[in-house]
Amino acid sequence: MLEQINRLLAQAESAITAVTTTEALEAYRVEYLVRKGAIASLFDQLRSVPPAEKPGVGKALNELRTRVQQLYDAKAAELRSPGPAAERTLDLTLPGRRGFTGTRHPLTRTMDEIISIFVGMGFGIADGPELEDDYHNFEALNFPPDHPARDMQDTFFVSKTALLRTHTSPVQIRVMKEHRPPVRVIMPGRVYRNEAVSARSLSAFYQIEGLYVDKGVTFSELKGTLVAFARQFYGRDIKFRFVPSFFPFTEPSAEMYITCFLCKGKGCRMCKHTGWLEVLGCGMVDPNVFRNVGYDPDEVTGYAFGMGIDRTAALRYGVDDLRLFYESDIRFLNQF
């Protein structure tokens, strides 16, 4: 019996050297280590060994099983780790994988470009709180007490007097209260409206407004400033027009339109087949607003303008659904 054990051990040690694949290793395990393998067969013969020899034979069988298991484990580890053959297949001349570099969000890119243009014209940058009071958001801006914008369905009220600002115009009031003319600033930031979310409207979005107050400021200066901006931002070949409008805090007021840069004025879905796109609202600051901040409307004049960053970005990049800017869809963002 001991001779059989030694013969099987020598056979197993020789067989393991020929194993070079996982399939061959599995065949080795089936031949020697499974319940019906060669080693188990010797254990079955242990019952026929004379009692006096059983202790020695049993010890030899256990040593055989342990040794073969060690051979199997060592070969399995060897096959899992890359050996010299695998190292020879590594081509160090191949170019490395390029790292992923993120880009600015299209809204951030649009806002930064608009800010850069107006800063180049001499405008400073001002900021203010998003949680505002009724006075700065409405009253000081010449909104009458019964104006629809004050209703709950149009404004997010936090309390009877506190609300999420509906525009960045309250920053104009804070700037004029803190500084005497001349004042020339732009005010970018997030605003909130209690509106149904759709492809063309959101409940939270970005605006940027501008204000210039000094002696002798005219509507012609306002038009010249906005036309210069539009030509830098949308292209020098655009046409433009100003259409009379109404805003509580400016008088006279207007909306600026430019030729649709997608269809070049021929008419498309983006411009509703009119050939024109509304890009911003503007006007001369109402004298009542000057009185509310302590300015003398007989001594100074000024203009203000404002535009939605989301809508401007949509027009610039031809995006027909504003919700895409906030859905974090990597397929959409990768285009920018």
pLDDT single digits (tens) 88-142? 566 778 787 777 777 889 999 999 999 999 999 999 999 999 999 999 999 999 8
> Does one domain contain both 67 and 211?
no
Stretch among 10-14, 44-48, 247-251 having the lowest mean pLDDT: 44-48
pLDDT score of 152: 54
- pLDDT for position 130: 94
Is the domain of 147 the same as that of 273?
A: yes
- The per-residue pLDDT for 83 is 56
Among 88, 121, 137, give the residue marking a domain's end: 88
Dihedral through CA 156, CA 124, CA 311, CA 221, nearest 10?
110
Q: Are residues 213 and 313 in the same domain?
A: yes
The lowest-confidence range among 4-18, 146-160, 241-255 is 146-160
Last residue of a domain, one of 88, 120, 149: 88
Residue 43 counted as domain residue: yes
191 and 324, same domain (yes or no) = yes
192, 138, 145: which is closest to 169 by C-alpha?
Answer: 138
Query: Does some domain include residue 98?
Result: no
* pLDDT confidence band for 36 (50 / 70 / 90): confident
Give 95's DSSP letter.
P
Phi and psi, residue 185, nearest 5°: -140, 155
By CB atoms closer than 10 A (0-12, 13-18, 19+), residue 106 is: buried
- What digits encode the pLDDT tens for the residues 127-186? 999 999 999 999 999 887 777 766 655 889 898 889 999 999 999 999 999 999 999 999
Q: How many domains does the chain have?
A: 2
Residue 58's pLDDT is 81
Of 249, 252, 241, which Cα lies nearest the Cα of 280?
241
**Rounded Cα distance, 303 and 175, in Å:** 14
* Higher per-residue confidence, 262 vs 276: 276
How many angstroms from the chain centroid is the CA of residue 13?
61
Per-residue pLDDT, 191: 94
217 in the same domain as 169: yes
For residue 82, is it within any domain? yes
Closest CA to 134 of 163, 167, 173: 163
Is 95 a member of any domain? no
pLDDT of residue 151: 66
Beta strands of the chain (E only): which ranges? 124-125, 131-133, 162-164, 183-192, 204-214, 240-247, 250-259, 276-285, 301-308
- Tokens 């509310």 correspond to 292
Residue 99 lies inside a defined structural domain of this protein = no
For residue range 279-300, list pLDDT tens digits in order: 899 999 999 999 999 999 999 9
Kindly tell me if the per-residue pLDDT of 87 is higher than 70: no
State the pLDDT at residue 305: 96
> Is the same domain home to 179 and 211?
yes
* Mean pLDDT of the region 48-58: 81
DSSP 3-state assignment of 194?
coil
**Do 237 and 307 fall into the same domain?**
yes
**Would you list the DSSP string of 16-54?**
HTT--SHHHHHHHHHHHTSTTSHHHHHHHGGGGS-TTTH
CATH of the domain at 112: 3.30.930.10
Q: Are residue 166 and residue 256 in the same domain, yes or no?
A: yes
Residue holding tokens 């407004």?
209
The pLDDT of residue 249 is 92
Q: What is the mean pLDDT of residues 226-232?
A: 93
Residue that is last in its domain, among 26, 55, 88: 88
Residues 12 and 58 in one domain: yes
pLDDT reading at 321 higher than 90: no
Q: Are residues 58 and 165 in the same domain?
A: no
Based on the fold, state whether residues 72 and 110 are members of the same structural domain. no
- Domain range holding 204? 106-333
Host H or E run for residue 196: none
